[in-house]
């Protein structure tokens, strides 16, 4: 049953005003592929200007605080992101779980705060290479997902992104079979918590997705799109991924 493919770029700590031309170009690619939902999670400094040049792409943030306001130097609330023009936000990216010590409980709270501010959420989970090598990837990632999933999670405001940590920025991806097994395990874990809603929830793959592997990854039944780092920084590299998503949608129709 038709889950609309969602393809989102995560620019991480990349992008200056000079790169707004790429935002605009990606917005045009999004407009040319209306069956796919396309977005860019920009550095906070570009959200406002990016929102004005986004075309058919949505603009998102990469993190938010769990409180609405307060003495949190350097932090941004979901409300602030929304006012700047963001309609989505990433929570729980491994680069923040690891480097910033964010816990599953923090991520559930941040996701909840985003929802209250009217922002949709891409909640990230993923295993280390040691966990995968130990044969525990599905169990560990499913546990991580259930521990960071807000209680009232629903498919109209939350998507999950499975990002194996060892695949991020490395050019390595799991086998297609491993991705299929993981995504099926995550959908089953979601069903154990939210029942039939799990069938509607999008589960993205992230980690070295590019124009060469996107079609194969998105042909997997439970892969509903991608969260893309490096290959989202230019329209030239991002467009083939959006194109692949559109072709999968057409093939499934
Ligand atoms: P890469 O696509 O650069 O591997 O990054 C993936 C990622 O972390 C997206 O959030």
Question: Per residue in 86-110, pLDDT tens?
Answer: 999 999 999 999 888 999 999 999 9
CA distance 100 to 222: 30
Per-residue pLDDT at 1 exceeds 80: no
Does the active-site annotation cover 138?
no
Question: Per residue in 157-190, pLDDT tens?
Answer: 999 999 999 999 999 999 999 999 999 999 999 9
Residue 189 counted as domain residue: yes
Residue 66 counted as domain residue: yes
Residue 139 counted as domain residue: yes
pLDDT value of residue 188? 98
pLDDT value of residue 121? 98
CA distance 11 to 233: 6
Q: For ligand 1, is residue 10 a contact (CB within 6 Å)?
A: yes
pLDDT value of residue 180? 98
CATH number, position 184:
3.20.20.70
> Which value, to the nearest 10 degrees, does the dihedral of the CA atoms of residues 8, 12, 18, 20 take?
20
Residue 231 counted as domain residue: yes
- Report which ligand 1 atom has the smallest distance to the Cα of 206: 6
Residue 39 counted as domain residue: yes
Strand partners, 123: 91, 160
Per-residue pLDDT at 117 exceeds 60: yes
pLDDT value of residue 98? 86
Q: Which of 175, 177, 189, 212 is nearest to 123 (CA)?
A: 189
pLDDT value of residue 99? 83
Number of domains in the chain: 1
Does the active-site annotation cover 163?
yes
Domain of residue 19, residue span: 6-252
Could you tell me what percent of the chain has a pLDDT over 70? 100
CA distance 49 to 232: 18
Residue 76: band (very low, low, confident or very high) from pLDDT cuts 50, 70, 90:
very high
Residue 1 counted as domain residue: no
Closest residue by Cα to atom 7, ligand 1, is 229
């Amino acid at each position: 049953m038709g889950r609309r493919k969602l393809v989102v770029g995560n620019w991480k700590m990349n992008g200056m005003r000079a790169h707004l031309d790429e935002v605009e170009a990606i917005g045009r690619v999004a407009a040319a592929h209306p069956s796919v939902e396309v977005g860019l999670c920009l550095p906070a400094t570009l959200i406002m200007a990016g929102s004005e040049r986004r075309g058919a792409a949505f603009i998102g943030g990469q993190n938010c605080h769990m409180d609405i306001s307060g003495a949190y130097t350097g932090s941004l609330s979901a409300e602030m992101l929304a006012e700047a023009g963001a309609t989505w936000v990433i929570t729980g990216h491994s680069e923040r779980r690891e480097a910033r010590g964010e816990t599953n409980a923090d991520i559930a709270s941040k996701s909840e705060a985003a929802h209250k501010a009217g922002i949709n959420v891409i909640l990230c989970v993923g295993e280390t290479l040691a966990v995968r090598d130990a044969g525990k990837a599905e169990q560990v990632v499913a546990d991580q997902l259930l521990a960071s999933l807000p209680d009232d999670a629903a498919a109209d405001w939350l998507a999950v992104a499975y990002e194996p940590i060892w695949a991020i920025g490395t050019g390595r991806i799991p086998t297609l079979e491993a991705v299929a097994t993981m995504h099926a395990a995550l959908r089953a874990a979601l069903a154990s918590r939210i029942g039939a809603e799990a069938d509607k929830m999008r589960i993205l793959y992230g980690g070295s997705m590019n124009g060469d592997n996107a079609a194969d990854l998105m042909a997997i039944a439970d892969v509903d799109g991608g969260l893309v780092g490096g290959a989202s920084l230019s329209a030239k590299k991002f467009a083939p991924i959006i194109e692949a998503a559109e072709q999968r949608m057409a093939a499934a129709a």
